Amino acid sequence: MPKNKLGFTLMEMLVTVLLIGILSAIGFPQYIRVVEKQRANEAVSTLSSIAKAEERYYAINDEYCNDYSYLDVDLTDKDKKKATGVMLDTIYFTYSLGVTEEEPIVTATRKNSEYTIKRKLDTGDICCQATSDEYLCDQLDLDVCTSQEEE
Q: What is the reported pLDDT for 90?
A: 87
Whether residue 64 contacts residue 57, with contact meaning beta carbons closer than 8 Å, is answered with yes
**How much is the pTM?**
0.78
Average pLDDT over residues 20-49: 91
Average pLDDT over residues 43-69: 90
Alpha-carbon span 114 to 133, nearest angstrom: 8
Q: What is the reported pLDDT for 22?
A: 92
Q: What is the reported pLDDT for 100?
A: 76
Mean pLDDT score of the chain: 85
Q: pLDDT by residue (tens digit) across 80-106? A: 777 777 888 888 999 998 877 778 899
Q: What is the reported pLDDT for 17?
A: 94
Contacts made by residues 144-147, CB under 8 angstroms, sequence distance 24+: 145/118
Backbone angles phi, psi at 106, to 5 degrees: -120, 135
Alpha-carbon span 84 to 71, nearest angstrom: 9
Amino acid present at 145:
C
The answer for residues whose C-beta is within 8 angstroms of residue 88's C-beta and 6 or more apart is 68, 75, 77, 94, 95, 96
Domain map (residue ranges) of the chain: 10-139
Q: What is the reported pLDDT for 149?
A: 31
Whether residue 89 contacts residue 98, with contact meaning beta carbons closer than 8 Å, is answered with no
Q: pLDDT by residue (tens digit) across 62-76? A: 888 888 888 888 887
Check pLDDT > 50 for residue 50.
Answer: yes
Alpha-carbon span 61 to 58, nearest angstrom: 5
Assign 7 a pLDDT band (cuts: 50, 70, 90): confident
